[in-house]
Amino acid sequence: MLIEELHNWAEETPNWAPARSCRSLVRGLLGRIDLMRRRIDAPLVVATLGGTGTGKSTLVNALVGHDVTAGGRQRPTTRRPVVICHSDVDVAALGIDVDEVDLVAKDFPRLRRLVVIDCPDPDTTERENVEETNLARLRKVLPHCDVLLITATQQKYRSARVFDELARAATGARLLFVQTHAATDDDVRDDWRAALADRYVPGRIFRVDSLAARDPDEHGAAAAGDFDELLEMLTDRLSGPTGNQIRWANLLDLVRATLTECESRLQESMPAVRELVDVIDRQRGELATSMARRLESELLSSRRHWENRMINEVAGQWGMSPFSLVLRLYGGLGALIANASLLRVRSTAQLVIWGAWQGQQAVSRRRQEREASDAPRRAVGLAWDESQLESAALVVDGYAHTAGLPHRDERDSALADEASRAAGGFLDHVTVDLQELVSRLARNHAKSLSRIGYELALGVLLVYLVARLGWNFFYESWIDPASMYGTEFFLAAGFWLLAWCILLVGIFTFRLRRGLSSQLAQLTETWCASGNVGALFDETLRGCRAAEQFCATRNEIAGHVDHLADRLTPGPETLGRVR
């Protein structure tokens, strides 16, 4: 499960420079994991690591029980690693390149559960090709080891070169620290443990004398120090299931170290990615504001069209009533005046002229209505000029380069396409908002309380005029026929009725216009705040989101690793490890 997660994480890497470097690390890790899995049932591989003269080879001979490698005084310091194993062990299956090592295969009993590697000294000065130095050979073999046996003496336990190589090799291996030359050197284990404490959990530090261990009859068995316990641990306690536990613990340490290194690389660039997201939002907001302001100006210039739409919608909701008829007449005032002019036609020629004029007026009205309806589309189409878009794109590309994300190589065509898609998306959003605005305002002005007010105001005048006319006709004219109202009354009544209707319509349209302007201003601020130009810089923003998701997946895998590490017993507490 963990290996599958690592594989999927590495293969789903976004086009982001830190993610690509993490992919290389994880692919190398998966190669090591595959090799470690094949070694589950193999003997424990123990490699020595220590400075020149610390008795690594002598200790190896003592562990094996035979002289299998020459001591420092009997061989040159520069040499290849010596792999000592049982003759039944396939060294190549352990991942070790047999062409890079000297192989010693023997049927010694202690080698049935143990493979020992006598490594080159890391602290020698050499004048050779880099690929052939002790360090190069050492670094090739150490990754294939389960346990590192770090040797030191009173003089060399603080060797900087050894510390450096230990830091490179310790991840993915358990550690055994051994102070050699116990017969001649003072006990420096407490100082050594303090020197190691910042970076390692040292475990138990053994103190041995390899010469006494190799020839106890000559030196005395007691002179060997902790050698018997060290030998028992390597050949018995760390074999079998415990060895497998060590390998799994090493594997998890290796995964954890790789994920930690990945986190370091990712977190180094994540502030730039987050800043890029903020920059995209800011540029989108500025462009959306420019578009919204232009749209507001276009809509206000065609306000009469939107007022007529709302008046017609209110009149339609009110049905047939005195004031709704007045609103319908107001909405169709132009057509009414034009039709009234037909009464002045006296000849066929005048009729033809009137018809042509009417046709031209109808075409003009339709064009104006179409232009008013297309105001949002026209405003969106002219929302940004080329320099404004180019400036925003340059800003975004600069931050994308800093964040390690790809930026436009063919900016003109790609930017034009994105701008077109963004304008289309914004137009769809605006169209819906405008329709909702018109419907909402119409509903607000068509409420029963508002309707009652207008109908009552108009109805009172109509009732008064009808009542006054009826009183005059049915009563006053019977008493005094000369008091019958003439044309002057009807002209005056018509004038005041028209003036009253104009006043009521003016109040109604003023409230409607004020509500439209106020709501449109609020809607414009909403458009500005939303930055709703989603297709613009969308590819770059998707790259940012992919980078954030890549980091989140790393954190999930790291959590799984910690959970597995808590459940796994890593072997004896005497073994050291990296903190």
Q: What is the pLDDT of residue 423?
A: 65
Secondary structure (DSSP) of 42-85: SPEEEEEEE-TTS-HHHHHHHHHTS--S--GGGS-S----EEEE
Helix ranges (DSSP H) in 65-209 = 134-141, 160-169, 189-196
Mean pLDDT of 470-490: 80
Q: Give the Cβ contact number of residue 250 at 10 Å.
A: 22
Model confidence at 272, in pLDDT bands (50, 70, 90)?
very high
Q: What is the pLDDT of residue 123?
A: 66
**CB within 8 A of 62, min separation 6: which ones?**
208, 210, 213, 214, 227, 231
Question: What does the pLDDT look like over 127-169, one tens digit per residue?
Answer: 555 455 667 777 788 888 888 888 888 888 787 778 777 777 7
CA distance 433 to 431: 5
Which helix H or strand E contains 205, and what residues bound it? strand 205-207
**Cross-strand partners of 201:** 577
Q: Compute and round to an integer the Cα radius of gyration of the chain.
A: 46
Q: Does the pLDDT of residue 78 top 50, yes or no?
A: no
Q: β-strand 44-50 against 114-118: which pairing, if any?
A: parallel
Q: What is the pTM of this model?
A: 0.66
**Cross-strand partners of 578:** 200
Mean pLDDT of 482-504: 85
Q: What is the pLDDT of residue 410?
A: 43
Task: Decide if 554 contacts 262 (C-beta within 8 A).
Answer: yes
Q: Does the pLDDT of residue 399 top 80, yes or no?
A: yes
Average pLDDT, the chain: 77
Q: Is 222 helix (H, G, I), strand (E, B) or coil?
A: helix
Model confidence at 408, in pLDDT bands (50, 70, 90)?
low
Q: What is the pLDDT of residue 348?
A: 58
**Between 195 and 519, whose confidence is greater?**
195
**Between 284 and 492, whose confidence is greater?**
492
The structure tokens 């216009």 sit at: 513
Mean pLDDT of 66-80: 64
Task: Decide if 338 contacts 389 (C-beta within 8 A).
Answer: no
CA distance 330 to 346: 28
